[in-house]
Structure 1
Amino acid sequence: MNIFHKVALQGLKKNRTRTVVTVIGVILSAAMITAVATFGVSLLDYMTKGAAQKYGDWQAAFLNVDSSFVREQLLNKEVKNTVTFENIGYAALDGAENPNKPYLFIAGFQPETFDALPIHLLSGRLPENSGEILVSGKVASNGGVSYAVGDTLTLTVGARMKGNEKLGQSDPYTAGDETLLPEEKRTYRVVGICQTPAFEKDSSPGYTLITGADPSDRADSLSLFVTLKNPRQVHSYVDAGKGRHSYILNNDVLRFMGLSDDPSDRLFNGLLYTVGGIVIAIIMIGSIFLIYNSFSISLNERTRQIGILSSVGATAKQLRASVLFEGLCIGAVGIPLGVLAGIGSIGLVIIVVAKNFGNLLYADVPLTLHISVLAIAGAAAVSIVTILISAYIPAKKAAGTPVMECIRQTNEVKLGAKAVKTSKLSQRIYGLEGTLALKNFKRNRKRYRSIVLSLVLSIVLFISTSAFVMELKKASEQTKVVTSYDIGFGSQDMDDGEMLQLYDKLKNTDGVYESSYQSYIEYSCIVPAGRLTEDFRESAGGDSSDGIASNGISTDGILPSEIASGGISSSGISSGGLTTDDSVALSLGIQFLDDGTYRNILDSLGLPLDEYTGQNGKLIAVAKMKDDGSQAEKVEQLRDLFTDSTMDLTIFPQTDNASEMETGQNVGITLVDIVPPDTPPMTGTVQQKPYDFQALAPWSLKDKLAPSGLTEDVRVKGLTFQSHNPSKSAAEMKTVIQGAGITSAYILLNTSEMLEESRNYIFIANVFAYTFIIMISLIAAANVFNTISTNIKLRRQELAMLRSVGMSDRDFNKMMRFECVFYGMRALLFGLPLAVVSSWLIHRGMFAAGAEGIDFTLPWVSIGISVCSVLLVIFVTMMYAVSKIKKENIIDALRDDMT
C-alpha cells in the first residue's frame, strides 16, 4: 500500500461520521439499483411462467412434418422435450365470412398433447375420443359460423394442394392457386367451445377443431412442438432447419425473455428497458449528489494537505488515484451490503404484493423472488460507476488547483462585499442573528447548492408520486358502480325452463344474498309522429314544419315498408309504408324482470301494484334521447323522447316471420325517470340508436307478450347475483354450471373483478411508488445530513469566534434556526412549483390515456408532509452538528487550522 492510499484511509478514519453517512448512501443506492433490477427479473420470470401456462411451454413449432423428422428432434441434444398432434386434414367451412380463412383444420390430440398445449374452454368439455370434437370460438367470432355443444358435424376432410405440393397451417390461403382434395367423410359430435389455440395464427387458413387421435389412423403429417434446454438458442435452432421445414415461434412466451422476433414485442422490450433505465438514472442522480458532496467536502478539508503533497512532487494522477481509492474503499463496504439489502427488501415487497399480482394476471402462478447473477452484477457495476463518477469530478478539480492556492486556501472564498450585502429592511426583520445566517448563505452558495438540489429532488418525487397514486384512486372510484350486480350469467338461446332450474341452484351458492332473473326482447312499435319531441325530430333530420322524413324513421333495421308488407293495417299505415306526418316505427326493448324485482321498482316509484301488475297491467318505460355530450349526471336531465308521459302502443316482434307480425299487441305505457337494472352479460354488438326506449315488465307477462318460440329477438336472458364474496361465489357457480351439463353458449361474468383489478393496480402502484420514494428520500436526507454537518464542522473557527466575542447560546441557536429556514425556503421555493407542474403533467397524461372526467386536484396532504419533512430534516441535522460544536473548547477551535 503506497503513501497516498494510507493518507486516504487515515482521512476516512478521522471523519468517521461522514464516512458512515457516505457508506449508508452507497448502501441505499446499491440497494435501490439491486431492487429495481431484481424485481424486473422476477416480474419477467413471473410473466414467462404465466405465459407458458396460458400458451404452452414450448419455444418453436413445425406445423407440417413427418415422423422421421420428429424422431430426429428427439435425438437432438438441444431439445428438452417434444409433443405432437396429428394433422387430420381440412374441410370447407360453408358460409365462412373471412375470405382468408375458408377452411376448418382438424387436429388429432394425444392425451399428453392436452397437457402440453393448454386449451381454455368457453363451454362444454374436452373431447375423449376420435368421434368428439372441440370447436374454436373464432369460428363464430371471425368466421361468422356458429356451432353449439351437442351439434353433429359431417365433414368432407381432405388435403390442401398446390400442384403436387401439400399445404399446411403455416401456408396462407391463396385463392385460385390451391385446391381442396377430398379424401374421406368424418362425423363428429361437438362437445365443447374453446378459445383460439396459441398455435393458430391469424394467417392460418383454417379454424382449428380438436378431436382425439385415432390409433388406427396412419397419417404421417404431424405438428411438432419443441421445448429447448436453453430457450435463448431458439433462433439458432430454427435457423438450422429453416431450409427444410417452416416453423412458428411461441412469441407469447419469448417476448418476456427478450427473444421474440415480432416488431411489437421489440417495442415492448424497448419500453421496458427505457422505463428501467429512467428509474436507475434517477437513483444514480440522487446517489451522485450524496457521494459527490462527500468527496467534495473531504477534499475541501484536505485542501492544504493536497497542496503540500503537490509541493513535494505528487502528480495530479497520484492525487486522483488517492481519491478514487477512497471511493473504492467505501464501495467495497457499501456495495455488498447494499446488494444484500436490495435483495432482502424487494423479497419482502414481493411477498406483500404476490397475491395481488395473482388476482391481476395468473392466479395459479406465484410471483416469487428470482435472483439473476447478471442482474446483481449489473447493479454492482452501476453502483461502482456511480461512486467513481462522484469521486472523479472533485478529485480532478482538486488536482488542477494551483499549489499555492491550496496551501493558502485562497480559493475557498472569492467574494466581495457586494456579494454578501444585505438590505436594511432584512437586517431590521431578521436582526443580527438572521443577518449573519443570510450572509453565510450568500457566501457559500456553491457549497449549499447541493443541499437545495437534493431536497428539491425529494420534494418533486414525493409529491409527484402521491399525485399519481391519487389519480389512480380517482380512476378506480369511477369504476366502482359498473353494474347493478356482482355476478352475471348471460345466454341467448337457453330454454327458459332450463334457465330457471339453473337459477334455483345458483341462488343458493355460498355468499349470495340477492338474486334475480330476466330476459330482454326487442320489439317494434308504431308511434304517432305528433307525440315525438322536437329533439327527436332534429336527430331524425326533420323539423316541426315538414314532419318526419318521407321514407320513415327506423334505427333498428326494420323499415316501415317491411312492417307494411307483412300485412299490418293500422291508422296512418298504407301499403306503401308510413305516411310522412302520421306514424313512425321505433325500436322498443322490453326487459322482463322476476316479479319480486319488478314490485320493488314499483314501490320505489310509488306506483300502485294493482294498476301495473296482472295480465292487463300497464308497463313502465324509460324514453330518453341519448346525451352525446355526456353532460347529464341524472336520468331526469336527459331530453325526453315523447311529449306525453302516458300512451297506448301496439308492439310487434322484430322478426321476418310474416304470420307473427300480423298479430300486434296493445300495451299501456307510463314513462318514468329511473335507470333500469343492468342486463346480464351478452355477446355481440348492440346497434346504436339516437334514443333509449326501454320498457320494464314482470316475468308473469312474458308468456302473453312474447309468443312461444320467439327466440331470434331475444337480445339476452340470464341471471344476476349480489354476493358478499363474488370471487368465491363465481368459482362455485362455474362448478355448478359445468355439472349441470349446459349445452347452450353462455357467459359467466364476475363484474367485481374489474373493481378488484383496479384496487390491485393501486395497491401495487402504492407499494412500489412509496418504496421507491422512501429510499430516494433517505438518500436525500443522508445527503443533507452529510453536507450540513460537515459544513458546520468546517466553520468551527468561525462559530468559535462568534461565541468568543459574547454571542450567547440563545442567539447562537437563533442564528442556526435562521439558516435552517433559509435552506428550507429555498428548497420549497423551487421544489413545490416543479412538483405542481409534474403533478399536472401526470394528470394530463392519464387524461390522454382515457381517464376522463377526473378533475385535477393538488395533493395537499403530500405537500404539507413535504414542507414539514424538509424543515424537520434540516433542523435536526443542524442541531446535531451544532451540539457537537458546542461541546468543543473555544480556544482549541480557534487555534485549530483544520489541517
Structure 2
Amino acid sequence: MNIFNKVTLQSMKKSRTRTIVTIIGVVLSAAMITAVATFGVSLLDYMAKGAAAKYGDWHVAFLDVDSSFVAKQASNDKVANTVKFENIGYAKLDGGKNPNKPYLFISGFSKETFDALPVTLLSGRLPENSGEILVSGKTATNGGVSYTVGDTVSLSVGSRMNGNKKLSQNDPYTSGAETLVPRGEKTYTVVGICGTPVFEEDSAPGYTLITISDTVETADDLSLFITLKNPRQVHSYASTEAAGHAYILNHDVLRFMGLDSSDKIFNALLYSVGGIVVAIIMIGSVFLIHNSFSISLNERTRQIGILASVGATTKQLRNSVLFEGLCIGAVGIPIGILTGLGGIRLVISVVSGNFGSIFYSGVPLTLHVSVPAIVGAATVSLVTILISAYIPAMKAASTPVMECIRQTNEVQVEAGAVKTSKLVQRMCGLEGTLALKNFKRNKKRYRSIVLSLVLSVVLFISTSAFVTDLKQTMAQVLSVTTYDIGFGTKDMDDGEMIQLYNKLKTADGVTGSSYQAVMKYSCVVQADELSNDYWESAGGSSPGKTVELPIEIQFLDDSTYLNLIKSAGLSAEDYTGENTKMIAVAKIQTGSNEKKGKKEVNEFRNMFKSSSVEADLIPETNGGELNKDYGQSASITCVEVVGLDTPPTTEVSDQRTYFFQVMAPWSLKEKIAPPDASVDVRVKGLTFQSENPSQSVAEMKTMIQGAGITSAYMLLNMSEVMDENRNYIFISNVFAYTFIVMISLIAVANVFNTISTNIRLRRRELAMLKSVGMSDRSFNRMMRCECAFYGIRALFVGLPLAIIFSWLIYKGMFIGGADGIIFVLPWASIGISVFSVLLVIFVTMMYAVSKLRKENIIDVLRDDMA
C-alpha cells in the first residue's frame, strides 16, 4: 500500500462519523438498487410461471407435422418435454359472420394434452370420449354462430387444399384459392364452452373445437408443442428445426422472460420503468455520496496542499480520493446487497397473497435471486460511487497548492453578498443575523441541504396524494355495488331462472337474495311535464306536445319491490296488486359547475317538474322497433330511493343525457310485458348478499352444473372485484412507501452529513464567537435560527413543488375527468413533512453542537491557526 492510500485510511479513521454516514448512504443506495432489480426479476418470474400455468409452459409449437418429426424432436438434447394433439380436420361453419374464419378446426386431445395446454372452461365440462366436443366461445362472439351445451353437431370433416398443398391453421383463409376436401362425416355432442385456446392465432381460418382422440399415438397429422431446456435458445431452435414447417411461439410466457422480440411495447415499458426508478435512486445517491466526498476534501484541503507541495502529482491525488471511494464501496456495497435482498424478501412476503388475488391464484410470488441482477446492482452502485468521488477529486487535484494550504478558496464572498435586512435583525437579533450571514457565505452547502430536504418532501407528499386518489377511486367503486354475487343471463326462461334461484339462495353464506329482469321500453310523456333542467341538458325544447324517451323497466321480485316502496315512504297498497302505478328514478346529471369559485361535481336534478307523471309505456322488440299494440298508460311516482344494481352483463347501456329507470313488481311483468310482445331484454338474473362470497360462488357453480343449464350466463363474484381493487391499493401503498422511506433515508443521511460536517468545519468560527463572550444561551439561539432558516427555505421550495406534482398526478390519473373524484391535498402528510424536516435539522444540529462543546476553545483556535 502506497503512502497516499495510508494517508487516506488515516483520514477516514479520524472522521469516523462522516465515514460511517457515507457508508450508510452507499448501503441505502445499493440496497435500493438491489431491491428494485430483485423485485423486477421476481415479478417477471412470477408472471412467467403464472402465464405458464394459464397458457401452458411450452415455448414453441409446430402445428402441422408428421410422426417422424415428432419422434426426432422428442430425442433432441435441447428439448425438455413434448406434447401433441391430432389435427382431425376442418369443417364448414354454416351461418358464420366472419369471412376470414369460415371453418371449424377439430383437434383431438389426450389426457396429457389437457394437462399441458390448459383450457379455460366457461360452461359445461371437458369431453370424455371421441363423441363429445368442446366449442370455443369465440365461435359465437366472433363467428356469430352460437352452440349450447347438449347440442348435437354433424360435421363433414376434411382437409383444406390449395392445389396439391395441404393447408394448416398457420395459413390464413384465401377466398377462391382453396377448397375443402371432405374425408368423412362425424357427429359430436357439445358438452362445454371454452375460452379461445392459446394456440389459435387471430389469423387462423378455423375456430377450434376440442374432442378426445383415440388415435393420437398413431396419427400422422399432428400439432407438436415443445418445452426447451434453455428457453433463450427458442428463436435459434425454432428457425433451425422448422425445416419448412410453420411454427408459433408462446408469446404469453416468453414476453415475461424478456425473449419476445415482437412485443416491443412491453419491453419498452419494462426497461423504461426500471431505468427511471434506477435513475432516481442514482441521482439521490450521487447527490449524497458526492456531497460526502466534497466535504471530505474540504476537511483534507490543507493535507492535499501539503502533499502537492512535496511532489504529489495530480494523478496520485485523484487516485487517493478514488481509493477512498473504493474502500467505502468495499464495505457498503456487500452490506447494501444483503440488506436489499432481506428487505425485498420481507416486502414480497407481505404482498404475495395480494398478488395471488389479482393475477394467478395458484402461483405464489416468491423471491427469485438472479446473479446477473445482483452483479448489475453492484456495478451500478460502484459506478455511482466513482462518479460521486471523481468530480470532487478532479476539483481538488486542479486547485493551486497555496490556495489549498491557506484554504482561501473555501469561502469566497463578493462585496455586499452577506447583507441582511433590518427586518431580520429586529426579529431575530444578532444571533439570527449571524445565522443568516452564514447561509450567504456557504451557499453550496446550504443548497445541498435544502435540495435534499426538498426531494424528500416532494416524494413523500406526492406519494401520499397518489394513494389518496386511489382510495377515492376504490370508495366510489364500492359505493355503486349493492350485491356480492351476481348471476346474469339474457335468454333463459323465467321459470327456469326462478327454479335455479330457489336452489342458489340455499348456498352456504347467503344472507339475502333477489331476482329481476331489465327490459327496454319507450316512455311517451307530455312535453310540459319535463323540467327546465332537462331541456337545458337536451339542448332545447320540443316543438311537439309529447316527448318519446327510451327507458328501461326493472322488474324486481315482489318482496324487494315492497322494501323499496317502504323506504321511499309510500303506501304499499297504491303500488302493489293489479295497479299499474309504479316508481321511478328520473334524474338529470348537470356535470360540473363553477359557482363563486367553488367547483360542484356530479349535481343531479329532477327530470320532471312534478313527482307524479302520467306516461304511455311502449315495449321495444328484439329488432329495435316499438310494438305500439302493447302500449299502455301508467302512473309513475318519481322517488329518491335507488333500486338494486342490475345483474352482470356484457351489453353496454345506451348513452343518454338522463337517468330514467322505472321499477315494477315481478307480479306485473306478464301484464306489462306479455310473452307475445317480444320485449327486448337487456339482462335478467339473480343477485345475492353473502358472508363468504368465495365459498358461496364455489357452491353455486356446482349447483348450476348439476342443474344442466344450457343458456349462456355470467356468474360474477363482485367481492373478488372489490378485493382486487383493495389489493391494487395495498400493493401500491407498500411499494410507494417503501420507496419513499428509502429515498427519505438517503436525504436524511445527506442532511446529517452536510450539517454536521459544516458545523465541524466552522469550529474556529464558533470557538472565536465564544471566546469574545457569546453566552451559551445566545449560541443556542443562533443554532436554532439556523435550523429555522434551513427548514423554512426547504419547505418554501418543497411544499409548492409537492402540491404541483400532486396535482399533476391527479390530472394524469383522471385525464378527461372522473365522477366523484376530486383533488384533495394530503394535509396530514404535509403536516408530517413540516414536523419531520424541522426535527431532522434540529436533531442533527444539536448532535454536531454537542460534539463541539466537548472541545477546548483554546485548543480549537490554536489547532486552526497552527
Q: TM-score, normalised by structure 2?
A: 0.94
String of CA shifts for 1:249-307, please: whole Å, max 9, x gaps: 11111111111132xx2111111211111111111111112211221111111111111
Relative to structure 1, is the Cα distance of residues 421 and 715 closer, same or farther in structure 2, using a 3 angstrom cutoff? closer
**Which of 572, 576, 581 is matched with 1:613 structurally?**
576
Match of 1:675? 642
Give 1:419 deviation, angstroms.
2.0
1:517-556 alignment, distance < 5 Å: 517-523=515-521, 544-545=542-543, 547=544
Secondary structure in 1 matching 2:711: coil
**Which of 485, 508, 511 is matched with 1:510 structurally?**
508
Give 1:738 deviation, angstroms.
2.7
Relative to structure 1, is the Cα distance of residues 712 and 259 closer, same or farther in structure 2, using a 3 angstrom cutoff? farther
Match of 1:896? 863
Could you tell me whether the CA contact under 8 Å between 1:534 and 1:544 is conserved in 2? no
User: Take 2:657 and 2:474, find their aligned partners in 1: how far apart are those partners?
Assistant: 29
String of CA shifts for 1:80-99, please: whole Å, max 9, x gaps: 11111111111111111111
String of CA shifts for 1:827-859, please: whole Å, max 9, x gaps: 122212221221111111112276455222222
Give 1:528 deviation, angstroms.
7.6
Secondary structure in 2 matching 1:57: coil
The amino acid across from 1:357 in the alignment is F
Q: Are residue 346 (structure 1) and residue 344 (structure 2) matched?
A: yes
1:322-333 alignment, distance < 5 Å: 322-333=320-331
Q: Which has the larger displacement, 730-739 or 146-155?
A: 730-739
Match of 1:493? 491
Secondary structure in 2 matching 1:840: helix
Match of 2:86? 86
Match of 2:358? 360
Q: Are residue 154 (structure 1) and residue 154 (structure 2) matched?
A: yes
User: Take 2:154 and 2:76, find their aligned partners in 1: how far apart are those partners?
Assistant: 40
User: Take 2:542 and 2:634, find their aligned partners in 1: how far apart are those partners?
Assistant: 26
The amino acid across from 2:638 in the alignment is V
Relative to structure 1, is the Cα distance of residues 537 and 105 closer, same or farther in structure 2, using a 3 angstrom cutoff? farther
Relative to structure 1, is the Cα distance of residues 887 and 65 closer, same or farther in structure 2, using a 3 angstrom cutoff? same
Q: Are residue 592 (structure 1) and residue 559 (structure 2) matched?
A: no
> C-alpha root-mean-square deviation of aligned residues, in Å?
2.8
The amino acid across from 2:607 in the alignment is R
Relative to structure 1, is the Cα distance of residues 292 and 589 closer, same or farther in structure 2, using a 3 angstrom cutoff? closer
Could you tell me whether the CA contact under 8 Å between 2:602 and 2:820 is conserved in 1? no
Could you tell me whether the CA contact under 8 Å between 1:619 and 1:667 is conserved in 2? no
Could you tell me whether the CA contact under 8 Å between 1:493 and 1:711 is conserved in 2? no
**Which of 439, 445, 448 is matched with 2:446 structurally?**
448
Match of 2:720? 753
The amino acid across from 1:757 in the alignment is E
**Which of 800, 813, 829 is matched with 2:780 structurally?**
813
Relative to structure 1, is the Cα distance of residues 462 and 528 closer, same or farther in structure 2, using a 3 angstrom cutoff? closer
Match of 1:144? 144
Match of 1:570? none
User: Take 1:733 and 1:626, find their aligned partners in 2: how far apart are those partners?
Assistant: 39
Could you tell me whether the CA contact under 8 Å between 2:96 and 2:144 is conserved in 1? yes
Match of 1:259? 259
Match of 1:132? 132
**Count of residue pairs brought into register by the alignment:** 859
User: Take 1:771 and 1:33, find their aligned partners in 2: how far apart are those partners?
Assistant: 13
Q: Which has the larger displacement, 12-21 or 830-839?
A: 830-839
Q: Which has the larger displacement, 394-403 or 848-857?
A: 848-857
The amino acid across from 1:769 in the alignment is A
Give 1:194 deviation, angstroms.
0.8
Match of 1:560? none
User: Take 2:446 and 2:618, find their aligned partners in 1: how far apart are those partners?
Assistant: 82
String of CA shifts for 1:752-779, please: whole Å, max 9, x gaps: 3332222111111111111111111111
Q: Are residue 836 (structure 1) and residue 834 (structure 2) matched?
A: no
The amino acid across from 2:700 in the alignment is M
Could you tell me whether the CA contact under 8 Å between 1:88 and 1:219 is conserved in 2? no
String of CA shifts for 1:605-624, please: whole Å, max 9, x gaps: 3333233222x222414374
Give 1:219 deviation, angstroms.
4.2
Match of 1:569? none
User: Take 1:409 and 1:540, find their aligned partners in 2: how far apart are those partners?
Assistant: 79
Give 1:463 deviation, angstroms.
1.3
Match of 1:550? none
Relative to structure 1, is the Cα distance of residues 354 and 655 closer, same or farther in structure 2, using a 3 angstrom cutoff? closer
Match of 2:464? 466
Match of 1:172? 172
Give 1:590 deviation, angstroms.
3.4
Could you tell me whether the CA contact under 8 Å between 2:588 and 2:605 is conserved in 1? no
String of CA shifts for 1:468-500, please: whole Å, max 9, x gaps: 111111222221223321210012232333322
Could you tell me whether the CA contact under 8 Å between 1:134 and 1:192 is conserved in 2? yes
**Which of 605, 613, 616 is matched with 1:637 structurally?**
605
Match of 2:388? 390
User: Take 2:755 and 2:770, find their aligned partners in 1: how far apart are those partners?
Assistant: 20
1:774-789 alignment, distance < 5 Å: 774-789=741-756
String of CA shifts for 1:555-613, please: whole Å, max 9, x gaps: xxxxxxxxxxxxxxxxxxxxxxxxxx8x8876564322211101111212333323322
Could you tell me whether the CA contact under 8 Å between 2:60 and 2:250 is conserved in 1? yes
User: Take 2:467 and 2:194, find their aligned partners in 1: how far apart are those partners?
Assistant: 38
Match of 1:574? none
The amino acid across from 2:331 in the alignment is V
Relative to structure 1, is the Cα distance of residues 544 and 805 closer, same or farther in structure 2, using a 3 angstrom cutoff? closer
Give 1:235 deviation, angstroms.
0.6
Could you tell me whether the CA contact under 8 Å between 2:620 and 2:680 is conserved in 1? yes
Q: Which has the larger displacement, 471-480 or 649-658?
A: 649-658
Could you tell me whether the CA contact under 8 Å between 2:589 and 2:605 is conserved in 1? no
User: Take 2:524 and 2:782, find their aligned partners in 1: how far apart are those partners?
Assistant: 88
Relative to structure 1, is the Cα distance of residues 626 and 495 closer, same or farther in structure 2, using a 3 angstrom cutoff? same
Give 1:656 deviation, angstroms.
7.5
Could you tell me whether the CA contact under 8 Å between 1:652 and 1:663 is conserved in 2? no
Relative to structure 1, is the Cα distance of residues 527 and 450 closer, same or farther in structure 2, using a 3 angstrom cutoff? closer
Secondary structure in 2 matching 1:896: helix
User: Take 1:804 and 1:86, find their aligned partners in 2: how far apart are those partners?
Assistant: 97
Relative to structure 1, is the Cα distance of residues 831 and 397 closer, same or farther in structure 2, using a 3 angstrom cutoff? same
Q: Which has the larger displacement, 350-359 or 791-800?
A: 791-800
User: Take 2:602 and 2:10, find their aligned partners in 1: how far apart are those partners?
Assistant: 76
Match of 2:475? 477
Could you tell me whether the CA contact under 8 Å between 1:625 and 1:690 is conserved in 2? no
Q: Are residue 36 (structure 1) and residue 36 (structure 2) matched?
A: yes
Could you tell me whether the CA contact under 8 Å between 2:325 and 2:385 is conserved in 1? yes
Could you tell me whether the CA contact under 8 Å between 2:509 and 2:691 is conserved in 1? yes
Match of 1:561? none
Secondary structure in 2 matching 1:848: coil
User: Take 2:19 and 2:709, find their aligned partners in 1: how far apart are those partners?
Assistant: 72
User: Take 2:94 and 2:212, find their aligned partners in 1: how far apart are those partners?
Assistant: 23
Could you tell me whether the CA contact under 8 Å between 1:623 and 1:691 is conserved in 2? no
User: Take 1:80 and 1:299, find their aligned partners in 2: how far apart are those partners?
Assistant: 59
Relative to structure 1, is the Cα distance of residues 493 and 32 closer, same or farther in structure 2, using a 3 angstrom cutoff? same
User: Take 2:604 and 2:317, find their aligned partners in 1: how far apart are those partners?
Assistant: 81
The amino acid across from 1:892 in the alignment is D
The amino acid across from 1:231 in the alignment is P
Q: Which has the larger displacement, 210-219 or 490-499?
A: 210-219
**Which of 399, 404, 423 is matched with 2:402 structurally?**
404
Match of 1:321? 319
Relative to structure 1, is the Cα distance of residues 111 and 8 closer, same or farther in structure 2, using a 3 angstrom cutoff? same
Q: Which has the larger displacement, 8-17 or 476-485?
A: 476-485
Relative to structure 1, is the Cα distance of residues 879 and 232 closer, same or farther in structure 2, using a 3 angstrom cutoff? same
The amino acid across from 1:42 in the alignment is S
**Which of 666, 684, 693 is matched with 1:699 structurally?**
666
The amino acid across from 1:766 in the alignment is N
**Which of 626, 630, 653 is matched with 1:664 structurally?**
630
Could you tell me whether the CA contact under 8 Å between 1:35 and 1:342 is conserved in 2? yes
Q: Are residue 604 (structure 1) and residue 567 (structure 2) matched?
A: yes
Q: Which has the larger displacement, 713-722 or 52-61?
A: 713-722
String of CA shifts for 1:645-675, please: whole Å, max 9, x gaps: 34374655726899x9796374533232343
